[in-house]
Amino acid sequence: MDRHCEPQAATIGEGAGATPQEIGTGQRHMTIRTAAELSERLAAHGLLLRGGLELDPVTDGALLEQFQGRRQLLLIGNVGSAIWPYLHRFMADHPAASDPLDQWTEIVLQAVAGEIGAVSLFPFGGPPWWPFQQWAKRADAVSPSPVAILIHPIYGLWHAYRGALLLEEPIALPPRSGAPSPCDSCIERPCLSACPVGAFSASGYDVDGCARHVNGAAGHDCQTRGCLARLACPVGPEYRYDSAHAAFHMAAFRRSHP
């Protein structure tokens, strides 16, 4: 699984333990003024505007205290393997990069932040630890799934949140979809039976058991294809990660769980 997809505690390949970092821009170019312009700019890197929310003085008090004057938060992410060609090119150009996904994300979103007069936040490198998962539930049509990743009614489990932008002047956004969780009508729940070691259950996610399997000889299928439980989900199969993309994230999971 890919890092920072619905940042959950200790989720396979999702950057368990990785937490947000604030990267301010301080620039006020404001060459992007609408959601359509922002979406076009992000698409040039395989990224998407995943939704947004108006900051609430009670719920978002700590955020507003640190970033006074900011009124709107926009979530930026990816769907499927749209980012992979750009990330792969970055990796080829920067072979010594210690964490190419995070570094590429920072470079891209800091540049975009400067064009929209925003402050950029990330689900890695903290403290502070910003609640990306809770923001996602407020801004996007996602809900919890049995495999500890937020599920989308169209994209399934094949999406991620890579960062957020804080704006002083809100931009108009499409309304949030009210589509129900696809898990509510999924009777068979193949995701729970697909894991070779039963790492996902009603009691939670057995990270250690998962890591032992993935790092062993019997885990070759998981290493090369990606999480088998995730692959078993019937929602959004057309958005499944390409094999090279999936292998990249599984390699990151193995490094963080030796």
**Cα gap 133→135, rounded to integer Å:** 5
> pLDDT tens digit string along 67-90?
999 999 999 999 999 999 999 999
Half-sphere exposure of 166 (CA within 13 A, CB side): 24
pLDDT at 157: 98
pLDDT at 153: 97
pLDDT at 22: 41
> pLDDT tens digit string along 178-204?
899 999 999 999 999 999 999 998 888
- Is pLDDT above 60 for 1? no
**Cα gap 43→218, rounded to integer Å:** 38
- Percent of the chain with pLDDT strictly greater than 70: 88
pLDDT at 126: 84
- Split at pLDDT 50, 70, 90, the class of 2 is low
> pLDDT tens digit string along 19-49?
334 444 444 556 788 999 999 999 999 999 9
pLDDT at 76: 98
- Is pLDDT above 50 for 4? no
> pLDDT tens digit string along 148-187?
999 999 999 999 999 999 999 999 998 888 899 999 999 9
Which positions ≥6 away from 97 have C-beta within 8 Å?
90, 91, 103, 104
pTM of the model: 0.88
pLDDT at 30: 61
pLDDT at 202: 82
Distances (CA, A) of 231 to 35, 82, 190: 32, 18, 9
Q: Is the peptide bond before 127 cis (omega within 30 degrees of 0)?
A: yes
> pLDDT tens digit string along 90-116?
999 999 999 999 999 999 999 999 988
Distances (CA, A) of 24 to 21, 132, 164: 10, 17, 11
- Split at pLDDT 50, 70, 90, the class of 9 is very low
- Is pLDDT above 70 for 232? yes
